Chains A and B, each alone.
Chain A
């Protein structure tokens, strides 16, 4: 940023070799580092200035050299100087920092989504294609990847120092963060929010792969059931389709293409249907009644795990028609080996098993 690339490379190499900053492995890392370098320089100048002032005055005006003090009231000009200059510098850091913040926490619309559930004391990653990982995360380079985080118990925090990103995993709500990895390699994953006994054991590895290697990894680690398929199975086994079947006389609203739409609740309040809304509507339906429907849906609080909720949400997100919902109305078990009509709408990069 403003610095010549050669100089920047040199600076980064120097700092990583002397172990002052972690490796830069995402597009956000150089952005953050340039602000950090700027702040460090400003701080050093400030510190040196204070140090020089104190040292010079101490030497010049020590008692033996300057036996009688000259009383000075103050100086409005100087007060203004050291109010305005620090304020200006701090405001530059504020604006620069805020721009970064918005960039780091606003995922691009085409980002590939991976769900991450934190629990005492492990990280579980749920890839859309059904790959599950514990305390590790495989991601390809060059594609924006969004993580949707939630915690099953206490606060956790998903931190990847090499990417300069971190986000709290909070019980009861989804948070998101995104990154675009640039350099293949293995990087630290830390839980940085204190979460109990094994807090320091809640660490893992981010494995950044080239797109080819990533494809291989995807193919080699699939569980055979994608998240949406798993969600479909849950949808049937919890008998959601008994009401949400899309029939004109159904007791529950149709869920096809509901994701991303605007609903009006029975309270008259308009809502945007996103992941968080879907999750809340399953757990606490009485507070999320769509206009025109009776409040008859029971709560599923405590009956579905966070992973199950993620599957359900992912299923509903990708539900484009009620055809299969109706097909499975009276089916008790859904065979997973039927990927032909897997609803895989949208750009979520659902990998075929």
Chain B
């Protein structure tokens, strides 16, 4: 272990920090401080994560038996719709960017705040408004269209709260646009002197790429949802074939956002993994420029692959060729990243703290998730596999196995910076292992179910699929424990955790050179960046200077 904590008998949390700077609930609700907003976001997305998780639990319980017996099929449909809506729009999209990104990007580039602090606060309020409307839609009867809002189901045939949910996502979408806008401007304009583009931590590069996707993609989703609402209320007919519209148009518009959205979700997670792997192998990220540009490549190619969601929907065969080819191309930057992370370990000096264990989990699960994506990107096999549990397993490997592991890795990594305290290391390592095992038990059987042809979104299924579903449900209960554990010990650590000090992991980022928790203004003096990114030799020299100085 290489956690370097200060002497616990004398160490204190710095008296003045962003948490103690002001008191009272209003000082939080009206704050412009990016760190406080990040904490507000963290609390809200955790709340929604556990609601979404509870719904997932209900889904797995229903699927324990082939019959639809725990709930009526209408209820089941509403449950999986809400699970998808909450997990995607209210958890995954804001997960890393709005919490860790918000907290860290200004500090990492040596700035005192984001470019537009008030817009940042507004973005949280919009998120809350969207979240509240989603909950309202759920409580007043739910919505049963699936998170994909497929027309004409959503416009003509569903009798549920489509409009409320659609508007909720419309509003939450703006929170994501504002976050992206803020990041882009901040990264362009507010870097400290000497912080050139190629000295930016890869976490920042990943967020930059994701922000571009947020700003360019989300408006299309907003337009699409408005069109669905207008079609439902006044029947404008854009998606209605009897009025000359076309439901396939909806598919194009929806996936034009919703495919890049998976990169909005995964890229920030990749940023976390780069930081964590570098820190715990005490080594520069192998092929820094390749990793940085692969983020940008994912963002660019990510915009041109949306129609691979529509291979069986009667789009032209030649369009399928193009989109299948581009899909294969977008898989390459992800492969580049995985190999660069693996080679970062080469000749490192590796320790295995909790964030690193989660990062290893990410690498394994994301590799499986990415490779199975190729099964779906190849059009001939997509025909058999799409709309089955294979696709469910694939995106859960990427989004939960990948993104959620990255999120937990990041939370454990920066928790001492955010709160000034450590969590109990042994229990957290156990949680990481339990999550990994539970995850594989839950989702691996779903690949097999999909190969066998079990369709997704079925409340009842043929008898022969039961064994694998039982495995999956059993795994989900282990996974649930894996997610509850951090919730408990992280809260516990707020009061009882050991004092972390400035740099418990001996990491190189600017955020580790300031006090924990940071001051409201982050830096008393704007740093002048002379060191390289991931410059462990510089860090060693700093330590020596400190020792001589104090001595």
- Say if the beta carbon of A197 comes within 8 Å of chain B: yes
In the bound complex, residues from chain A placing their C-beta under 8 Å from that of B175 are none
**Do B371 and A47 touch across chains, with their CB atoms under 8 A apart?**
yes
**Do B374 and A199 touch across chains, with their CB atoms under 8 A apart?**
no
In the bound complex, residues from chain A placing their C-beta under 8 Å from that of B156 are 153-154
Of chain B, the residue at the smallest CB distance from A162 is B453
Partner of A101, one of B348, B374, B380, B536: B380
**Do A94 and B284 touch across chains, with their CB atoms under 8 A apart?**
no
In the bound complex, residues from chain B placing their C-beta under 8 Å from that of A199 are 73, 77, 457-459
In the bound complex, residues from chain A placing their C-beta under 8 Å from that of B2 are 63
Q: Mark A198-209, 1 if CB is under 8 A from B, else 0.
A: 111101000000
Main SS of chain B's interface residues?
helix
Q: Mark A161-174, 1 if CB is under 8 A from B, else 0.
A: 11011111011110
Of chain B, the residue at the smallest CB distance from A106 is B317
In the bound complex, residues from chain B placing their C-beta under 8 Å from that of A262 are none
Partner of A192, one of B338, B339, B456, B460: B456
**Given the complex of chains A and B, what is the CA–CA distance between A34 and B83 in angstroms?**
35
**Do A72 and B332 touch across chains, with their CB atoms under 8 A apart?**
no
Of chain A, the residue at the smallest CB distance from B290 is A79
In the bound complex, residues from chain A placing their C-beta under 8 Å from that of B380 are 31-32, 35, 96-101, 103-104
- Say if the beta carbon of B311 comes within 8 Å of chain A: yes
In the bound complex, residues from chain A placing their C-beta under 8 Å from that of B336 are 79, 82-83
**Given the complex of chains A and B, what is the CA–CA distance between A157 and B378 in angstroms?**
19
**Do A193 and B144 touch across chains, with their CB atoms under 8 A apart?**
no
**Given the complex of chains A and B, what is the CA–CA distance between A57 and B342 in angstroms?**
8
Partner of A43, one of B320, B328, B338, B371: B371
Q: Which of B145-153, B222-230, B423-431 contacts A (4 or more CB under 8 A)?
A: B145-153
Q: Mark B243-286, 1 if CB is under 8 A from A, else 0.
A: 01011100000000000000000000000000000000111101
Contact flag A200-B312 (CB < 8 Å), given A58-B345, A165-B383: no
**Do A200 and B73 touch across chains, with their CB atoms under 8 A apart?**
yes
**Do A71 and B537 touch across chains, with their CB atoms under 8 A apart?**
yes
In the bound complex, residues from chain B placing their C-beta under 8 Å from that of A103 are 380
- Say if the beta carbon of B544 comes within 8 Å of chain A: no
- Say if the beta carbon of A155 comes within 8 Å of chain B: yes
Q: Mark B329-341, 1 if CB is under 8 A from A, else 0.
A: 1011001101110
In the bound complex, residues from chain B placing their C-beta under 8 Å from that of A61 are 281, 345-350
**Do A164 and B284 touch across chains, with their CB atoms under 8 A apart?**
no
- Say if the beta carbon of B493 comes within 8 Å of chain A: no
- Say if the beta carbon of A304 comes within 8 Å of chain B: no
**Given the complex of chains A and B, what is the CA–CA distance between A159 and B383 in angstroms?**
9
Partner of A63, one of B347, B350, B374: B350
**Do B452 and A161 touch across chains, with their CB atoms under 8 A apart?**
yes
**Do B321 and A171 touch across chains, with their CB atoms under 8 A apart?**
no
Q: How far is the CB of A80 from chain B (nearest CB, A)?
A: 10
**Given the complex of chains A and B, what is the CA–CA distance between A307 and B214 in angstroms?**
45
- Say if the beta carbon of B31 comes within 8 Å of chain A: no
- Say if the beta carbon of A87 comes within 8 Å of chain B: yes
**Do B456 and A194 touch across chains, with their CB atoms under 8 A apart?**
yes
Of chain B, the residue at the smallest CB distance from A157 is B387
In the bound complex, residues from chain A placing their C-beta under 8 Å from that of B436 are none
Q: Which of B43-51, B123-131, B360-368, B404-412 contacts A (4 or more CB under 8 A)?
A: B360-368
**Do B381 and A20 touch across chains, with their CB atoms under 8 A apart?**
no
**Do A97 and B386 touch across chains, with their CB atoms under 8 A apart?**
no
**Do B349 and A166 touch across chains, with their CB atoms under 8 A apart?**
no
Of chain B, the residue at the smallest CB distance from A16 is B452
Q: Which of A48-56, A237-245, A331-339 contacts B (4 or more CB under 8 A)?
A: A48-56
- Say if the beta carbon of B287 comes within 8 Å of chain A: yes
In the bound complex, residues from chain A placing their C-beta under 8 Å from that of B372 are 43
Q: Mark A83-120, 1 if CB is under 8 A from B, else 0.
A: 10011001101101111111111100000000000001
**Given the complex of chains A and B, what is the CA–CA distance between A194 and B457 in angstroms?**
6
**Do B320 and A101 touch across chains, with their CB atoms under 8 A apart?**
yes
In the bound complex, residues from chain A placing their C-beta under 8 Å from that of B77 are 194, 196-197, 199
Partner of A69, one of B152, B347, B384, B456: B347
Of chain A, the residue at the smallest CB distance from B241 is A172
**Do A170 and B248 touch across chains, with their CB atoms under 8 A apart?**
yes
Of chain B, the residue at the smallest CB distance from A50 is B367
Of chain B, the residue at the smallest CB distance from A200 is B458
Contact flag A98-B321 (CB < 8 Å), given A54-B360, A154-B153: yes
Contact flag A90-B364 (CB < 8 Å), given A72-B346, A100-B379, A199-B458: no
- Say if the beta carbon of A145 comes within 8 Å of chain B: no
**Given the complex of chains A and B, what is the CA–CA distance between A36 and B450 in angstroms?**
12
**Given the complex of chains A and B, what is the CA–CA distance between A289 and B317 in angstroms?**
28
- Say if the beta carbon of A272 comes within 8 Å of chain B: no
- Say if the beta carbon of A46 comes within 8 Å of chain B: yes
- Say if the beta carbon of B22 comes within 8 Å of chain A: no
- Say if the beta carbon of A22 comes within 8 Å of chain B: yes
- Say if the beta carbon of A191 comes within 8 Å of chain B: yes
**Do B345 and A19 touch across chains, with their CB atoms under 8 A apart?**
no
**Do B153 and A164 touch across chains, with their CB atoms under 8 A apart?**
no
Question: How many of B's residues come within 8 Å of A, CB to CB?
Answer: 94
- Say if the beta carbon of B313 comes within 8 Å of chain A: yes
Partner of A50, one of B290, B364, B460: B364
**Do B157 and A94 touch across chains, with their CB atoms under 8 A apart?**
no
- Say if the beta carbon of B242 comes within 8 Å of chain A: yes
- Say if the beta carbon of A70 comes within 8 Å of chain B: yes
- Say if the beta carbon of A322 comes within 8 Å of chain B: no
In the bound complex, residues from chain B placing their C-beta under 8 Å from that of A71 are 283-284, 536-537
Of chain B, the residue at the smallest CB distance from A154 is B153
Partner of B317, one of A19, A57, A96, A101: A101
In the bound complex, residues from chain A placing their C-beta under 8 Å from that of B467 are 19
Interface residues of B in 130-156 (CB under 8 A from A): 144, 146, 148, 150, 152-153, 156
- Say if the beta carbon of B480 comes within 8 Å of chain A: no
Partner of A20, one of B283, B321, B452: B452
Q: How far is the CB of A262 from chain B (nearest CB, A)?
A: 20
**Given the complex of chains A and B, what is the CA–CA distance between A54 and B360 in angstroms?**
8
- Say if the beta carbon of A294 comes within 8 Å of chain B: no
**Do A301 and B242 touch across chains, with their CB atoms under 8 A apart?**
yes
Most central of A31, A190, A191 by chain B CB within 10 Å? A190
**Do A97 and B381 touch across chains, with their CB atoms under 8 A apart?**
yes
**Do B386 and A166 touch across chains, with their CB atoms under 8 A apart?**
yes
**Given the complex of chains A and B, what is the CA–CA distance between A293 and B153 in angstroms?**
38
**Given the complex of chains A and B, what is the CA–CA distance between A182 and B300 in angstroms?**
44
Q: How far is the CB of B214 from chain A (nearest CB, A)?
A: 27
**Do B312 and A82 touch across chains, with their CB atoms under 8 A apart?**
no
Interface residues of B in 23-45 (CB under 8 A from A): none
- Say if the beta carbon of B314 comes within 8 Å of chain A: yes
- Say if the beta carbon of A297 comes within 8 Å of chain B: no
Q: How far is the CB of A181 from chain B (nearest CB, A)?
A: 16
Of chain A, the residue at the smallest CB distance from B459 is A200
Of chain A, the residue at the smallest CB distance from B457 is A194
**Do B73 and A197 touch across chains, with their CB atoms under 8 A apart?**
yes
Partner of B314, one of A97, A154, A168, A196: A168
In the bound complex, residues from chain B placing their C-beta under 8 Å from that of A165 are 383-384
In the bound complex, residues from chain A placing their C-beta under 8 Å from that of B283 are 69-72
In the bound complex, residues from chain A placing their C-beta under 8 Å from that of B313 are 155, 168, 170, 175
Partner of B374, one of A93, A154, A170: A93
Of chain A, the residue at the smallest CB distance from B280 is A63
Of chain B, the residue at the smallest CB distance from A203 is B462
Partner of B378, one of A69, A97, A164, A166: A97
**Do A302 and B455 touch across chains, with their CB atoms under 8 A apart?**
no
The 6 residue pairs across chains A and B that have the minimum distance between CB atoms: A172-B241, A161-B453, A100-B380, A97-B378, A57-B345, A74-B287
Q: What are 23 A-B interface contacts by the 8 Å CB criterion? A: A39-B375, A39-B378, A50-B342, A50-B364, A54-B345, A66-B348, A70-B283, A74-B290, A82-B335, A86-B331, A90-B374, A98-B324, A153-B156, A154-B156, A159-B455, A165-B383, A170-B313, A172-B246, A175-B313, A188-B462, A195-B153, A196-B153, A197-B77
For the A-B complex with A57-B346, A86-B332, A153-B157 known, give 20 more contacts whose Cβ atoms are closer than 8 Å. Answer: A42-B371, A57-B343, A63-B2, A75-B287, A93-B328, A94-B378, A96-B378, A97-B381, A102-B317, A155-B247, A155-B313, A164-B383, A165-B383, A166-B383, A170-B313, A194-B153, A199-B458, A200-B458, A201-B460, A203-B462
